[in-house]
Structure 1
Amino acid sequence: MTLSTRESEFAEHWPALAGATTAVGTGAALFSYTTNYFVLPLEAAEGWSRSAIAFGATLYMLGTAAMMPLTGMLADRHGVGRVAPVGLAGYGLLCLALSLLPAHLPVFYTVMLLIALFCSATSGVVFGPFVAARFRRRRGVALSILLSGNAVLLMPLAPVLTAAITDQGWRAGYMILGGLALLLGLPSALFATRGSSARAAAQDAATPRGATIREAMRDPAYWKIILGVVASTMALGGFLNQLSPLLVSRGIPVPLAASLMSLFVLMVVVGRIAVGALLDAFRPALICMLVMAGAAAGSALLLMETPSPSLCALVVVLLGAAMGAEGDLQAFLIAKHFGLTNFAALFGTSAMCTSACLGLGALLFGVLYDGTGSYTAAILIAMALLLLAGLSFGSLGSGERAPQPATGQ
């Protein structure tokens, strides 16, 4: 496998990857990352409580998670070129509607649920098989780029969105998100997938089939992946939600804690790309195990009563890298072990577990802190979960599953 062979994949398929990354970056993940921008403006303008506003975000997250497996099945059956544009168009129009409709909580909740319905078709679950089919030798890097679109877009968008909401109100924020989906995401999806259905049909007879859903469900490897996903995302979800106050509780000043959280976001992107490259170059199960072990070691440093700022920075680097690698690990391992025939449906189920466990992890950390007045118990449980995830991922076989002809779903 020569360098030129590896790089030829990017030379041939970079337009499709760029279009898919842009489409994913303007969809579900971006909406999830920006929900916190609207809490204070909605509270100030409409008098809604923070819990009432948060319930809208919860409805969106749960709705999106519940739709992931079904959307994945639709993408496997009909192709990304038919599913993703519908999702981006519906999501964009609903964001615009949210900026224009009367500000009543029942209306807000209804639109949030409808956004979840369409947003599930704008995620890496739908675009994952599209990218994975075009990149074999650089699949890890390609998938990591695909799943980094929202974080890359959020860097320049954050100050613009903040300024618009501050000057024009929360409705302007939803108008910007809707405009991005319709004017940037939708054209990018159409550009990336142009002709994809015809090419897929022409290659279908000659393409070896991956596992059916039933075969995957009977394979212990699939449940090892799911166990690793559940354990790791529950731990990382707790840190994602509580890391800043946790650092402050360990004696880190609030301004420094805020700077460390910026480092965390940066490491999510860096970790995703770096781990993607490592997955391509080395045994994936070993890389997964090392990433989880590193996150567990970082967690252990937080058991110190007064860790130094440099140690806290190391913790943030290790946890941020693991958080960034999480989605990449799932997509890569599922494609490697079960092929691409039902990749979106299988990845959709895994993504549903991710969304649910991120929320459960945040709840676990909060409940344990309220009950004990300390984060120590939460950190110990998170360490155990990360080690369990590492063992589960590490026990996966190293060889790719030989695809068999599909006989049904």
Structure 2
Amino acid sequence: MLVAAFGMCTGVLYLYSAGTLVIPIEKSTGWSRAQIGMGLTVVTIITVVISPITGALVDRYGARPLALFGITLFSAAFAAIGLTGESIGSWIFHWALLAVLAFGMSPATWTSAVTNLFDRSRGLALAVTMTGMGIVSLTIPLVSQLLVEAVGWRTTFFWLGAIWGGIGLPLVYFLLRDGRSGPRAPSSAETTRREGLPMRESLLSRQYFAILVATLCFTFVAMSFVVSIVPILVWQRVDATQAAALASLFGITAIIGRLATGFLLDRFDERVVTTIAMVLPIAAVSLLWSMPSVIPLAALSIMITGFSLGA
């Protein structure tokens, strides 16, 4: 379970380190922030396309083989971003390569490993696994900023990839099991036949389309906030290290948001809870837009967004 949490942590490493890397890359290459952000956009698009393929591979081969390949290839591809050439095309190519090679780092891989092992307390096990995202958002902005100041942005990519791969690969190899290697009692989900719509009909349904559009809109807004917050604060003359420390508040409030949402979903209509969680970034952006140089308000906007991401 803890290995799966580490895997979740590694899978979003690129996202929470990006904010501290934007300004050094901008100064070094002369690219605009919009051009730099195209790398993350490419990752998002490719991830959406290959996620169903990853799910099918997990169902067929199990979580462990995909996790081994995924963490190895992801770490190598992330480290290689530091080798980006002078053209923006090279930058986008490296991010596209990362997205393709990171197919095994999908949340489906890690959550599958957990659900196959737990028949009881499965919800708690998944909650612990998902805290990996909160942990990385708590630690990586500051670690990334310190590395940038010490060795520069190119070498920062190498060290982050090497550190996470060097720790993660042995953990996955020796400790991760996906429940397929030995017999276990079938769970009620496996023994009870559940009827549902065929996949084609499900994908064309109004409910699926509504969820897809809402999720994409939320993801683009919230992730843009995560990536842009450090450059925005630095632009407002906040020290880069202090800005990275403020960005770490994402992690604390994401964990709180995850636990609080689980509590609320048990007691209130899930549509109401989900709607509130999805509109919270509007309040966060409004606060930051109104007074971006006021540190307490900037911190509050970060915490609101972190809570929403956790939810």
Give your verdict on TM over 0.5. Answer: yes
What letter corresponds to residue 217 of structure 1 in structure 2?
L
In the alignment, what sits opposite 2:94?
111
Deviation at 1:40, TM superposition (A): 2.9
Partner of 2:56: helix, strand, or coil? helix
CA contact (8 A) 2:74 2:101 kept: yes
The 5-angstrom pairing of residues 4-403 of structure 1 reads 17-27=1-11, 29-45=12-28, 47-51=29-33, 52-99=35-82, 101=83, 103-105=85-87, 106-135=89-118, 138-194=121-177, 196-199=179-182, 203=186, 207-208=191-192, 211=196, 213-214=199-200, 216-217=202-203, 221-223=207-209, 225-226=211-212, 228-230=214-216, 232-233=218-219, 236=222, 263-279=249-265, 281-282=266-267, 285=270, 288-289=273-274, 291-292=276-277, 295=280, 298=283, 317-325=303-311
Partner of 1:196: helix, strand, or coil? coil
What letter corresponds to residue 25 of structure 1 in structure 2?
C
Of residues 285-294 and 162-171 in structure 1, the stretch that sits farther from structure 2 once superposed is: 285-294
What letter corresponds to residue 20 of structure 1 in structure 2?
A
Number of aligned residue pairs: give it. 301
What letter corresponds to residue 125 of structure 1 in structure 2?
A
Inter-CA distance 131–36: structure 2 relative to 1 (3 Å threshold): same
Distance (whole Å) between structure 1 residues aligned to residue 278 and residue 157 of structure 2? 40
What letter corresponds to residue 7 of structure 2 in structure 1?
A
Deviation at 1:41, TM superposition (A): 2.8
Distance (whole Å) between structure 2 residues aligned to residue 121 and residue 209 of structure 1? 28
Inter-CA distance 118–305: structure 2 relative to 1 (3 Å threshold): closer
CA contact (8 A) 1:20 1:188 kept: no
Deviation at 1:86, TM superposition (A): 0.8
Distance (whole Å) between structure 1 residues aligned to residue 298 and residue 15 of structure 2? 26
Deviation at 1:323, TM superposition (A): 2.4
Distance (whole Å) between structure 1 residues aligned to residue 288 and residue 158 of structure 2? 44
Q: Deviations over 1:42-93 (max 9, x none)?
A: 3444x34134433333333322332222222222222211212111111112
CA contact (8 A) 2:8 2:130 kept: yes
Identity in percent: 26
Of residues 66-75 and 200-209 in structure 1, the stretch that sits farther from structure 2 once superposed is: 200-209
Q: Deviations over 1:223-272 (max 9, x none)?
A: 4543543454466457657789999xxxxx876x9687654553223102
Distance (whole Å) between structure 2 residues aligned to residue 149 and residue 68 of structure 1? 19
Q: Deviations over 1:160-185 (max 9, x none)?
A: 33222222222321122221332222
Inter-CA distance 103–294: structure 2 relative to 1 (3 Å threshold): closer
TM-score w.r.t. length of structure 1: 0.58
In the alignment, what sits opposite 1:370?
none
CA contact (8 A) 2:138 2:250 kept: no
Deviation at 1:26, TM superposition (A): 1.6
Inter-CA distance 214–313: structure 2 relative to 1 (3 Å threshold): same
Distance (whole Å) between structure 1 residues aligned to residue 304 and residue 224 of structure 2? 15
Deviation at 1:189, TM superposition (A): 2.7
CA contact (8 A) 1:91 1:181 kept: no
Inter-CA distance 223–142: structure 2 relative to 1 (3 Å threshold): farther
Distance (whole Å) between structure 2 residues aligned to residue 96 and residue 173 of structure 1? 8
What letter corresponds to residue 103 of structure 1 in structure 2?
G
Distance (whole Å) between structure 1 residues aligned to residue 288 and residue 79 of structure 2? 46
Partner of 1:198: helix, strand, or coil? coil
Distance (whole Å) between structure 2 residues aligned to residue 222 and residue 319 of structure 1? 25
Unaligned runs of 5+ in 2: none
What letter corresponds to residue 322 of structure 1 in structure 2?
S
Deviation at 1:138, TM superposition (A): 4.4
Unaligned runs of 5+ in 1: 1-16, 248-252, 326-409
